[in-house]
Chains A and B, each alone.
Chain A
Amino acid sequence: MAFNPKKQAFNASINAVTLGAGEKSTVIGGENTLPFYTFDAPMANSPKIALEISDDGMASLQMPGMKAAFEGCASVVDMVKKAEELHGISAICLHFEGADPNGENKSVEECVALAKEVAEATALPIIIMGCKNIEKDAEIFNKCSEALQGKNIVVLSAREEDYKSVGASAGMAYNQKVGAESAVDINLAKQLNVLLCQLGVPAQSIVMNLGSSCVGYGYEYLSSTLDRVKAAALAQNDQQLQMPIVTPVSTETWNVKEAMVSEEEVPEWGSLEERGIEMEIATAAACLTGGSDLVIMKHPAAIETIAKFIDSLM
């Protein structure tokens, strides 16, 4: 008797969420199977990659390979235009590192002006990432959401402390997408979604940033969180966890020891750049197979590899 594999497509699915507007808008989520289980059912939309670009532009590119890919670029806007030519990039993540009050402390107006320039320069969907300062981020998200109305941007992120203000502005008043951020706390992940929905943000406007960590640096916590979220969303049809997952990878992988310690210090580890690329690839691949619908990455060589990885598994 022939072996008939039992299909495990679920009667529940992840919400399909559109990012951006116009010809280069992209859809994440929509699947009703475990990640890349295309033998159970086709994945409705392939997972996507966003390129992280810092507001510091070229100065933030620490590796020769990164610099080479953006050679000739003078500004963030130049980099964004260049990114459109690179393979595998579906969105731009504009990271306002410089807004940190404990750092450069760039003004909110400055950030908004840059976001507008970027939005004018590219048709790719835009993800706004803050500087991890709650008050400053809330202001940046609110003002960017207002300035970029109609662009259908994502703001990363609404947290327990500021979900009301970010949800009300980005998610409701300006009709953008809200990332609910929960730092690898599965119960908080669900709770934030519940609270945002109770506030009035449509479930279809929420994506989850469950937190992130580099492989080897507590990644197993993220891994078990991703697994439990997917099990709840698909096997238990938990509508409060059916939001697609967006995971920042580059912000975690490029500041671990393997990606920073010089070749002179540990010659036996080999090329510093290769090490960093490998950490980024390993982390992104782990997130995607765990259930991330979009990963935010930085090194063009790592992006190239992950794009190929996604294509070959679809």
Chain B
Amino acid sequence: MAKFITIGERIHCIAPSIRKAMAERDPAPILQRAEEQLKAGATYLDVNIGPAENGGEELMQWAVKLLQENFDNVPLALDTANRKAIEAGIQVYNRSKGKPIVNSADAGSRIENIDLAAANDAIVIALCSADGIAADNDERMMHMSTMLERGLEHGMEAEDLWFDPLFLVIKGMQDKQMEVLEAIKMFSDNGLNSTGGLSNNSNGMPKHIRPIMDATMVAMAMMCGMTSAIVNPCDLRLMETIKSADIIRNNTLYADSYLEI
């Protein structure tokens, strides 16, 4: 029923310009990428500061404040392996436009990030893996149950755990794609929210192919009940597909100008 939520992935310290901007606390490149993504229709922005072992707390607080002050308290996904940095980011986070997202927890060594989300009334992206990719959907569902129970025990609402089946690269794992979609269907049948790094499916494909494959994947995933994805919102074909699928699912009301809003 709710509109599909896009989490813009382009503030990522793997990008050299962003890494440099984060290191030098230079707002301009970060603000520019934020603006592009929001203009293109992103709801959330992911803020990936990398492992950030040194100074991660201060960096995350700087990034959260920078983005929220400049973009009307845009809701953010705080993305780092440094738990303290996520906590520090939440301390300065303004939730008027949406709860913060902890990106991410899994059923293995990162399960405590669920506790962190619970303690801070945050959403958590729950990767259905423990040590390595799940072999099949039995394993994915086992991880799902483990993390759901963990969240509920700590007082979370089930809707605040967004399960990520982990999208797999087609070039190499083509035979596993339908299984990933079936996992999403199982989350959806259980009334659970889902998300994931969708573009992983098209990794290694030629540049002009990737938007086609990503758009098709998102349409098929939405058919299975997927509620959110971490995407490049500047991919027009992808965003148009999401908006159209939202119309067909009756998640948004149709108007002739629906692609413009």
**Chain B residue, CB-CB nearest to A11:** B98
Binds A, one of B137-145, B193-201, B214-222, B252-260: B252-260
Residues of B within 8 Å of A187, CB to CB, are 253-256
Cβ of B2 within 8 Å of any chain A Cβ, yes or no, is yes
Chain B nearest CB, measured from A158 CB (Å) = 15
Q: Mark A205-237, 1 if CB is under 8 A from B, else 0.
A: 000000000000000000000001000100111
- CB pair A194–B255 under 8 Å, yes or no, is yes
Cβ-closest chain A residue relative to B98: A11
Interface of chain B, main secondary structure: loop
Which residues of chain B in 186-211 are interfacial with respect to chain A, using CB atoms and an 8 Å cutoff? Answer: none
Q: Could you say which interface size class chain A belongs to?
A: 10 to 19
Chain B residues with CB below 8 A from A193, complex form: 255
**B3 contacts the other chain (Cβ, under 8 Å)?**
yes
> In the complex, what distance in Å separates the CA atom of A241 from the CA atom of B254?
11
Chain A residue at minimal CB-CB distance from B254: A187
Contacting residues, chain B, for A232 (C-beta < 8 A): 252-253
Q: Hey, which chain B residues are within 8 Å of A238, CB to CB?
A: 252-253
Report the minimum CB–CB distance from A312 to chain B (whole Å). 32
Q: Which residue of A lies closest to B2 (CB)?
A: A236
Is B255 a contact partner of A190 (Cβ separation < 8 A)? yes
> Is the CB–CB distance between A240 and B255 below 8 Å?
yes
Query: Does A237 contact B3, Cβ atoms closer than 8 Å?
Result: yes
Chain A residues lying within 8 Å of B135, measured Cβ to Cβ, are none
Question: Residue of A at shortest CB range from B257?
Answer: A194
Q: Is B91 an interface residue (CB 8 A)?
A: no
Q: Which of A198, A228, A236 contacts B257 (CB 8 A)?
A: A198
Report B-chain residues with C-beta under 8 Å of the C-beta of A235. 1-2
Chain A residues positioned under 8 Å from B251 (CB to CB)? 236
Residue of A nearest to B246 (CB): A236
8 Å CB contact of B261 from A228, A237, A240:
A240
Q: Is A186 an interface residue (CB 8 A)?
A: yes
Q: For the complex, what is the distance from the CA of A237 to the CA of B252, rounded to whole Å?
A: 9
Instruction: State A232–B251 Cα separation when bound (angstroms).
Output: 9
Contact B260 A241 (CB under 8 A): no
Chain A residues with Cβ below 8 Å from B3 are 236-237
Asked if A195 CB lies within 8 Å of chain B CBs, one says yes
Which residue of B has the minimal Cβ distance to A186?
Answer: B253
Cα distance, A191 to B256, chains bound together (Å):
6
Q: Please measure, in the bound complex, the distance between the C-alpha atom of A193 and the C-alpha atom of B261, giving whole angstroms.
A: 11
With a cutoff of 8 Å between Cβ atoms, the chain B residues found around residue A194 in the complex are 255, 257, 260-261
Query: Contact between A236 and B256 (Cβ–Cβ < 8 Å)?
Result: no
Q: A236 — which chain B residues lie within 8 A by C-beta? A: 1-3, 251-253
Bound complex: CA of A198 vs CA of B2, how far in Å?
24
Q: How far is the CB of A262 from chain B (nearest CB, A)?
A: 44
Interface residues of A in 232-284 (CB under 8 A from B): 232, 235-238, 240-241
Q: Which residues of B contact A (CB under 8 A)?
A: 1-3, 251-257, 260-261
Residues of A within 8 A of B (CB): 186-188, 190-191, 193-195, 198, 228, 232, 235-238, 240-241
What are 7 A-to-B residue pairs whose CB atoms are below 8 Å?
Answer: A188-B255, A190-B255, A191-B257, A193-B255, A194-B255, A236-B3, A241-B253
Q: Which 4 A-B pairs have the closest CB atoms?
A: A190-B255, A191-B255, A194-B257, A232-B253
